[in-house]
Amino acid sequence: MRIGIIGGGIYGTAIAYFLQELGDVEVALFERQEIGGKSTSRSAGIVRHHYARQGHIKLAKRGREILENLETYVGQKGGFRQNGYLALTGEKNEELFHETIEKQKQIGLDVRLVEPSELGNYIPGIDSSGVTAAAFEREAGFADPYLVAQGFSKAAQESGADLRSRTEVTDIEIDRGVVTAVETTNGTEEVDFLVNAAGPWGAEVGQMVGLDIPLTWYESKAVVLSSTNPYDIETPTLSDSLQQMYVKPEPGGDFIVGGIDRPEIDRDVGLEGITIDYLNQVQKALKRRMSTHADAEVIESWSGIITATPDWYQIVGVPDGYENFYNIVGGSGHGFKEAPGFAESIAQEILGNEPNYDLSPYRLERYEEGELLSDLEMARKKND
């Protein structure tokens, strides 16, 4: 069986790897730019398990296990570091927060509730104002998204996969729900099965087969800061839902701040980029929560595309009316950490095996059926 994959980000490369490892197949991956060079490379790389859905927590846990032991899979490390994850919330969302922690504990994750008065034991100088509940995930950490994608792509190639960068898919040949070939800038390629892992362009790929995939672009902004008070590499990543801010350490004492402003992108205009207004928002958020780091100076900054679904969870699977067109789109700003767990189960499903985890809740049809996986407002607040 010849399986085509559109998209060379973390999902496309990981699926290519697991297909080669688990099945006797021929894999051809088509990437319009460079492997791991778009949304994947703009990810902050945070690895955590704080989700309201237990099924999603399990997929995130499996993703973390693979990232943590990436060298045993692909022969090279992915920059994983286990520094922990400290999540904060306020009175409005406290009930859901406690339910989430309980779900994490039920599947064996090492997570504990933290009293607001104890926050300084994890991040010195932190202000607990407004915090009514907090939790610490010991097993959480972060990894290098670009290194991870490169690791999967290299291992997939060594196992026989044909990965083609700078090869854009321009059209798809389909007959009564059966994909037969893809047309690319380098010619037509016959396929027996096709995976849409095109990230920001997942909806456009769907249109090529007459499928409407509800995806919206949002701009994710991040800045690397340096303070006179270093943010030690072993200090936990902070997720502050009250400020809608995450803070993640970088090697050498610098730190990344993001999550504060995620405007919808006008695709005719493009990315807004890092503005003075955004930097002022970052400074105000730091001053409220971490005044010890409010003097920080900008070292580097960037913005990228978050491709979000209506409920901010992935769309996965072969839609009704199609036989061999498989979607894995809509990472919604938290896709990196879960990608290896999803990819393993997706490969198993494509090969006709029982997947490790049930992927049916992520079907496209859930929107028509009214089976959204989360409340939109809550989903947007928890992304990092």
Q: What is the CA radius of gyration of the chain?
A: 20
Question: How confident is the model at residue 39, as a pLDDT?
Answer: 82
Within its chain, how far is the Cα of 346 from the centroid?
Answer: 16
Any idea which fold 85-138+216-308 has?
D-Amino Acid Oxidase; Chain A, domain 2 (3.30.9)
* Number of C-beta neighbours around residue 90 at 10 A: 15
The model's pLDDT over 316-335, given as tens digits with 9 standing for 90+, comes to 999 999 999 999 999 999 99
Cα 254–65–122 angle (5° rounding)? 40
Mean pLDDT of 223-252: 96
Mean pLDDT of 194-218: 98
Q: 383 pLDDT band (50/70/90 cuts)?
A: very low
Q: How far apart are CA 228 and CA 359, in angstroms?
A: 46
Domain ranges of the chain: 1-80+141-214+309-384, 85-138+216-308
The model's pLDDT over 279-292, given as tens digits with 9 standing for 90+, comes to 999 999 999 999 99
**What single letter denotes the amino acid at residue 164?**
R
Q: What is the pTM of this model?
A: 0.95
The structure tokens 């197949």 sit at: 25
Would the pLDDT of 379 be above 70?
Answer: no
The model's pLDDT over 65-74, given as tens digits with 9 standing for 90+, comes to 999 999 999 9
Per-residue HEC secondary structure of 282-327 comes to: HHHHHHHHCHHHCCCEEEEEEEEEEEECCCCCCEEECCCCCCCEEE
Q: What is the average pLDDT score of the chain?
A: 95
Question: How confident is the model at residue 41, as a pLDDT?
Answer: 83
Same fold, 1-80+141-214+309-384 and 85-138+216-308: no
Structure-derived torsion over alpha carbons of residues 216, 217, 218, 223, reported in degrees to the nearest 10: 150
Mean pLDDT of 297-321: 96
Residues 6+ apart with CB under 8 A from 18: 343, 344, 346, 347, 348
Residue pair 74/155 in contact (Cβ under 8 Å)? The answer is yes
Phi and psi dihedrals of 175, rounded to 5?
A: -130, 110
Three-state DSSP at 215 gives coil
CATH classification of 1-80+141-214+309-384, choosing from 2.60.120.560, 3.60.20.30, 3.50.50.60, 1.10.10.10?
3.50.50.60
Question: How confident is the model at residue 384, as a pLDDT?
Answer: 52
Within its chain, how far is the Cα of 123 from the centroid?
Answer: 25
